[in-house]
Chains A and B, each alone.
Chain A
Amino acid sequence: MSYFNPYSDTSFFGFFAVLGIRFWGFLTGKLVWSDLVSDEIQLIVLGCVALGAALVGVFLVLRRMTMLANALSHTILLGIVVAYLLSQTMTVSILILAALMTGFLTTFLTTFFNRVIKLQEDASIGLIFSTLFALGIVLLTFFSRNVHLGTELVMGNADALQKGDISIVSAVLGINLVLGLLFYYGYKITTFDPFLAKAFGFSPLAFNYLLMMQTSATAIGSFKAVGVLMVLAFLVLPPLTARLLTHRLHHMMIIAAAIGVAGAMIGVALSRHILTFCGVGLSTAGIVVIVLGCFYGVSMLIDFSRRSRYDSPIIIINRQNETDCSSR
């Protein structure tokens, strides 16, 4: 890319200033689609990823299904590799098909191992995703003759994003938004009261599968930018942060989405700032993850001080704690 990048040599605040000016330019039509530079592509892609992941993540966290999401983020590698080997292309539709297949397969296998073979849940999740991930890596290195492709899939490379990558993340974001709005009520009721949901005719199991499909679509949409593993941070950290700040579901979704997008913006700006002043090109996705982690840390401290100020213990019914009592 030989053209001029207006963001080069900007600092953290300078980045936002330039961003504002350019955004105005896009709005008024002075700048067109083809004028997008790499920083803006990063911003759009990471923002879309963060937004979509936050919406899905809220339900993952509330339904205590994050470990299944973790498993998915590993097995999605196999899906990507198999899809690539079979079709030799990486079009949006192929990738989304692969995501759906992997999502279904992972969920089905873990449920099968847990319910039919009667293996305890943690072990069945751990066993399946690590074996499938290993299979993915072996296939990848075997057929691509390129070990680095594997590292790129896992670590992501936000700095090598191109305009074409916007299409898949926006497609995934669109899917997540549409499904999220369409099934908001179903998700809500199956999350908080599965029995009532059943009585109303919503199958919690079907919504589990739907959620896992959405998760895998999110993971596969974002692997180029953030890698299959770091997308977990986008899925889990913003909802956890939002959970500390509110007790209402739709507030939680809005806050989580806002935190995700803010994290993406700050991350990209920080990455540019560090490149300008230290001359080190850091992994942008990694920085976003760290920023999200810091948000969580800050909200934990806010929560902690609020709790100690009123000194009223909030009783949170936590099923996990009941089972853990024996181990303490």
Chain B
Amino acid sequence: MDKLFLLAMNGLIWGLIIALIALGLAIIFGLLDIINLAHGDFFMVGTVLAWATLQSTGSFWLAFIVAPLIGFILGALIQQIVIKPIRNVAMLSIVATFGLSLILQESVRITYGPTPGRILPPIQNTIHLFGVDYEVYRLFAAVVAILALGGFFLFLQHTKLGTWMRAVRHDREIAVAMGIPAGRVYMVTFAIGFALAALGGVVAAPITTVDFRGGVDILPFCFMAVIIGGLGNLPGTAAAAVLLAFLEGVIQSVADPTVARIASLVLMSAVLLLRPQGLFKGLTR
């Protein structure tokens, strides 16, 4: 029973973090029509930046600003240099992001090194919950994720840039005709996508490993959240991420973690084939 609680809680909190990362993927996929195979590596870069910030400044908290900022800049650069020029061969963008993924992984391997490392959580206490000593940092991570998610949705609804993003996603031609600078919107979207993933990386770093392959597992999970939640349905994506991670956590208490992963993948296939608009369409409009 304790184990179940632990895994369920961990799953829930992990889901909140993944929701953040998956939203980054969702806006890139939804707005720029790109299957970003490097998105897991954006997350991984976030974990590495957290480690680097800790090493150089001694403060982990600084990473919460540094990593998303660097992620934003990198994202903008990548969009301008690589993504924008290939708009006319859209189907091949997946190949370009695959190349990007290789470059990111290998670059980290060269600079950071091949051995996985750990970051100690900045808050080391545990709190007694439902008969288990639960890490306070995880609760803190959950709060940060929720705040970030909330902030992101507020940004989309209430800022000019956010409104532009929603307009371009809804109908690009009309948006351009109304004078919205679509090119700039694309750049910012990709940049925010990277930044969100990097932020997720910082939040997750103390509870996972810092490893150049750290993105490989995250990527399919993010895609699952986007597809099952429904393309273009951002709240749906966040909800799907939390739900999937929670379910996987629960299943892990009785079965092999890989079984949980296979079950999620099968669910994702079913959604793709039977209800491509996602499971949550119509529930959140």
Chains A and B belong together in one complex = no
Contact surface of B with A, Cβ cutoff 8 Å: none
Contact surface of A with B, Cβ cutoff 8 Å: none
